[in-house]
Each structure stands twice: as structure tokens, then as C-alpha cells.
Chain A
């Protein structure tokens, strides 16, 4: 093999790739942030005794988890504008589909978290005069948040990697930038190695943080 590794390509394209990584993080943070907001409500809906709320949240979770993110993205980017009659720019379309996608996964994390709290916690709260909603708000949910920190970290990592899908609608996040650099330099090995390591630099610290949180929480229980 006479391949000659070129550091030069990486050094010169690094600012571009870094900018891409910046957008990747921005997209992921917004999407998971919105996902937590959506997922908290939907997750509570998934343990609701109200049949309507339960059914609605179940349909949402099952639909999103049962279809590819790519298809959801196409639905928002191509499908919805056809229905509405006006175009949706790539960034809002990406945020919309990623948030709604993340929301479903977070909802399942929240549901599992709520159901992992001992039933006696709710009953003790009810016996002391709290309504169901008060007990949820002050007793169950605060405990749930502590327990779902590790799985939420994992969801963040998964979403960070999945965000590469939005490169197909020309959003210049890390993978899209990789394409651009490759097209300009034809040094595909260097480019994709650099892209892979940039992803790893983002995900690895978060994974470590999740591990740390898991160990800490185990000690407290």
C-alpha cells in the first residue's frame, strides 16, 4: 500500500469541520432539550389513568419509535410543505423532526423512571393530603429526574450521532462538512477519520459523565 497520510488536509479543513461539529452540538442540544420537555409530559401521559391522554401519548410514542428518523425528517422537510403550501427551511425542519423524535424516546425513559418509583411513595403522599397532581409534582417527578439522568445521557449521545442524518437536507453539520471537504480535496480517508474522531471527542466525555452519574446514584440508593 503506497498510501501517504496527509496531515495537511486535516489541518486545513479543520476549521470547517469544527464549525460543522458546532452545528451538530447545537442541533442536538436544542433537539434533546425540546425532547425532554415533550418527553416529560408524554411520559407522564403514559402512566395516566385518563384513557384519552394515555392513548394519545401511546400513539405518539409508538409511531415515532416505529419509523426511521430519516422518514420523519422527509415528512417535515418535503411532506409538510406540500400540505401547507409553503416551504420549511432546513434548520427548523431538522429541529422539528429531531425534537419530536427525541421526545418519544425521552417519554419512554420518563415512563420507566416513574414506574420505578415505589408505589408507597405515591400512597404516602396521598394519605398526607396531596392530590394525584401534587404528589406527582413534588414527590414522584423529582425522584424520577434523579433516576433518569443516566439514560438521558445515553439519549443525548444517540441523538448526537443520529443528527448526521440531517446532512441529507443540506444542513452543514459535521457529516455534511465532511462531504464538502472530501469533494474539494479527494482525501476521503483523512476526512472521514477526522470526522469520526470529532464525533468521538464529543460523545466520549458524555459517556464518561453518564458512567460517573450511574456510580454516584448507585451509592445513594
Chain B
């Protein structure tokens, strides 16, 4: 089942939650709506589910407009953040209910319920009540309940947010596996960028009721076309800059408060134009022997040892903090605060972003904690 949203608008009392959403979700794709709270991602999901009616635009399943089709007739499965299992029914009854409504014979129902429980690894828990299960188990039951009717579309609304870290990773992998096995078109809503990167075929980054970038995880991470995405997905060093000259092939020299840098842009820039440079901490080297296109000096301001990486906040001469990650800190000495270091990074990891929301962010401070 393909899903399409054409110019979808949704208004609530006093504000517009969705300001014209355009989407094409492919058959069998796991598509993620990613953004901070209030960006409209859940509203979009609820419109697809039929819990809300659009105030403009069309929603299509394959090529059929379904704007006014009741939820019950959309053949969708939904998993909610708080599971929404029916507490007065056993696991078996929860999963079997949809099948009973379809007047399926009892033996057939039993076979289907058993198969779906087996798929989510919960065989033997048929007769428990939801209250007797752990969060992870409850969410698996919810998944089984959503999938037992063979829906055309699976909708997941922050399904992992109520689970603790270890269980979250496990269920995350299970969801992806199951989704690929069933090849079911899936819309996944989350505010967790790491979750989005690991799970998705494609991601739509949303902000204030609009989609501001759409792409596969790798392109969003490596080629953000706006500072919001650069900031929201992973961590970035963002610096205001203006273009000095073009070097051909999309490469430019720009001037920042720290000095001049060479980087690449994904759209043409002209000399004098304002832009933002974005450099990922993992692409920054400290005291490297290698000759890189860009380098400057600073002092260690703060060091955080995270196990797999060692992150330094480096204070530059212009009073701007710059983050740099040491990727294999095993056995490395942690440098003392105040140590002077040389920072360098290559031209191709220095992205030049030109977008209109530049003014809205405080780009002199480096943000975007993951």
C-alpha cells in the first residue's frame, strides 16, 4: 500500500498544526516522521489513521482518496506509546478480538493468534492480563494485536518511548525485523533521532507543521540542507560564516569568527552571501600530523569520557566552543583543561548550509546535543 499526502492542512483551535504536508510513502517502506514535540508528526499520523479529519488537502491510500473513510475501514494497525491494550481482556482476547469481529471460525482464530504471539516471542502468555506483563511484553502484544489482521498499513506512535533503554533497543530491532519480513508499509513517529536513523528507510524531519527535509538516514546525517536538521540529527558544530570566494565544484572559501575555512555547499553560493558551516565532532581531529584544509588552535575547556568516544569542548580564540570527538579513547590520556591543541578537519566534512532559518538559531553557540 502506498500512502500519499497532498498539501494536507490541519487546524486546531487557534493554531495551524500542519501547514501543507506533501508526502509519498512507498509500498513496504518504513517511513519515519521525526521532530521535536509540537512539530505535527503525531497529528500527521492521526490523520492517516482517521482519528482527525483534514482541513485541507488529500490523503491517499494507493490512488484512492480516503479523507473521510472511517478508521475502522482503513485496514490499518496502530501501536501507541502507552500500548492501549484492553486491561479487562487477556492477551489472547486482546489479539483475537479483531478476528472475532470478522466472524472467523474459532480454530482459525486460535491458529492466527498463536502464530502472531510466536512472531513477537510471547508464546505461552496467552492467558495473562496486560497488567501482569512488563512494558516490553505489553508493547509486543500491542504489535501482535495490530498485525494479526494483516493490515495494509502499520502506524507506530512513539512505541518505544515508555520502555527503558535496553528493552527499547531490543524491541526496536524486533520491529524492524518484523516489518521487513512482512513488507508492510509503516509510518513511524518519534522524536528520537537515533531511533529514526537505525530504523528507517526514509525520514521526514518536521518542524512547526512543515516537513523541512526528507531523505534516507545517511543523506540526512551527512547532507543536512538546513541548520535545524543539522542541529536535530546528531551533533554538529555550527558557525556563522560568509562566502569569500568560490573554488569550483561546489567548493567555497568562507570567513568565520575563528578564521577562514574551505567547505562544500549543496547549493550554489555567491561571494558575500551568508551561510552556516556545519562540522560533525567525529570529523574533527586534534593535534593531527595530517595536513588538512582547515585548522585552527584552541584550549581544552571540558572533557567528557563516554566510553566509546572521548568528547572535548574546545574554546577557540573567538570565545566559541567547538566539539571534537576522539573515536578510540582506549588507553588514551585525557588531556587536562587548558591544554592548547590544534584542531583540523577536511574540506569535504565542512558543510556550507544556506537556509532561511539561520536567524532563528543562536548559531554562535554550538548546540545540538544528541
Contacts and interface: CB of A to CB of B under 8 A. Distances in A.
Interface of A: 118, 120-121, 123-131, 134, 138-139, 142-143, 146, 220-221
B101 interface: yes
A130 B97 CA distance: 9
A179 B104 CA distance: 65
B88 A129 contact: no
A118 B82 contact: yes
Given A123-B51, A129-B149, 4 more contacts: A121-B84, A124-B145, A127-B76, A143-B88
Nearest to A142: B88
B364 interface: no
Contact of B78 (A127, A134, A138, A221): A127
B97 A138 contact: yes
Nearest to B46: A123
Contact of B101 (A121, A123, A129): A129
Contact of A121 (B70, B76, B86): B86
Contact of A124 (B80, B88, B101, B102): B80
A61 B215 CA distance: 55
19 contacts: A120-B82, A120-B84, A121-B84, A123-B51, A123-B71, A123-B78, A123-B80, A123-B84, A124-B84, A126-B71, A127-B72, A127-B76, A128-B77, A128-B149, A129-B72, A129-B98, A130-B101, A131-B72, A221-B131
Specify which of B74, B76, B87, B145 lies most central, judged by the most chain A CB atoms within 10 Å of its CB.
B87
Contact of B102 (A129, A131, A142): A129
Contacts of B102: 129
Nearest to B74: A127
A127 B75 CA distance: 7
B78 A139 contact: no
Nearest to B142: A124
Interface string B113-154: 000000000000000000100000000001001100100000
B3 interface: no
B162 to A, nearest CB: 12
A124 B101 CA distance: 14
Contact of A143 (B72, B78, B86): B86
B49 interface: yes
Contacts of A125: 86
Nearest to B97: A128
Interface of B: 49-51, 70-74, 76-78, 80, 82-88, 97-98, 101-102, 131, 142, 145-146, 149, 155
Nearest to A120: B84
A113 to B, nearest CB: 13
B103 to A, nearest CB: 11
Contacts of B85: 124
Contacts of B83: 120
Given A134-B101, A220-B131, A126 B84 contact: no
A139 B80 contact: no
Contacts of A146: 88
A143 B155 CA distance: 25
A138 B80 CA distance: 19
Specify which of A121, A128, A130, A139 lies most central, judged by the most chain B CB atoms within 10 Å of its CB.
A128
A121 B51 CA distance: 13
A124 B78 contact: yes
A138 B146 CA distance: 18
A138 B72 CA distance: 15
Return the 5 tightest CB-CB contacts between A and B, nearest first: A120-B84, A128-B98, A124-B84, A126-B71, A127-B78
A126 B72 contact: yes
B66 to A, nearest CB: 14
Contacts of B82: 118, 120
B129 to A, nearest CB: 9
Given A123-B51, A123-B78, A139 B131 contact: no
Contact of A128 (B51, B88, B131, B145): B145
A138 B101 CA distance: 11
Contacts of B71: 123, 126-127
Given A121-B86, A124-B86, A143-B87, A130 B72 contact: yes
Contacts of B84: 118, 120-121, 123-124
Contacts of A124: 78, 80, 84-86, 142, 145
A142 B149 CA distance: 23
Contacts of A126: 50-51, 70-72
A221 B129 CA distance: 12
A13 to B, nearest CB: 48
A143 B86 CA distance: 8
Contacts of A118: 82, 84
A196 to B, nearest CB: 40
B86 A127 contact: no
Specify which of B72, B142, B149 lies most central, judged by the most chain A CB atoms within 10 Å of its CB.
B72
Contacts of B142: 124
Contacts of B86: 121, 124-125, 139, 143
